[in-house]
Amino acid sequence: METRLIAKNPTAYHNYVIEDKLEAGIVLSGTEIKSIRQGKVNLKDCYAMIKKGEVYIVGMHISPYEHGSLFNKDPLRDRKLLLKKREIRRLIGLTQQKGYSLVPISLYFKGSLVKVDLGFGKGKKLFDKRQELAKKDADRQIASMLKARNG
């Protein structure tokens, strides 16, 4: 089945050490789907949480559809994720016992359906982020030196 990326969460890998990913469906209204098809969605400050045995995505901004009026939903409303009970129980265990966070990584079309890549991992500390940036910078410098030397 063909997949097409809609949006990525730019801060997911910067703020969290993602250990595993899970694909989930998402419950949306008709006008939200139309806005998503136009690419008007933002995953920057969103996260997932478990309420009453169901998983919800909180803080995902889907801009109101321009041509819809009465049927537009709140852009920041909580949206239910579609997962199997076994997967939800596993997520409940991970978030309660080990202190993991649920972070949406990307939003994409799989066929005609909208799917969310949900990652779970631990938050990085500030010094971890600095070390990672320093390592990337050093790798970039080494690569440019090798390129200049060989080319």
> What number of other Cβ atoms are within 10 A of residue 65's Cβ?
21
Residues 15-58 pLDDT 10s: 888 888 899 999 988 888 888 888 889 888 888 889 888 999 99
Distance CA 14, CA 12 (A): 5
Q: Is residue 133 part of a domain?
A: no
The answer on pLDDT for 82 being more than 90 is yes
Give the pLDDT score at 15. Answer: 81
* Structural domain count of the chain: 1
The more confidently predicted of residues 149 and 21 is 21
The domain in which residue 17 lies consists of: 3-124
Give the pLDDT score at 68. Answer: 66
Q: 17 vs 47, 73, 99, CA distance in Å?
A: 14, 33, 12
CATH code for position 83: 2.40.280.10
Residue 69: pLDDT band by 50, 70, 90 thresholds? low
Q: Is residue 104 part of a domain?
A: yes
Residues 84-118 pLDDT 10s: 999 998 888 888 877 788 899 999 999 889 999 99
Q: Is residue 51 part of a domain?
A: yes
The answer on pLDDT for 141 being more than 70 is yes
Q: Are the CB atoms for 12 and 18 separated by under 8 Å?
A: yes
Give the pLDDT score at 57. Answer: 92
List residues bridging with 146 in a β-sheet.
none
pTM for this model (two decimals): 0.75
Q: Which two tokens stand for residue 78?
A: 């909580």
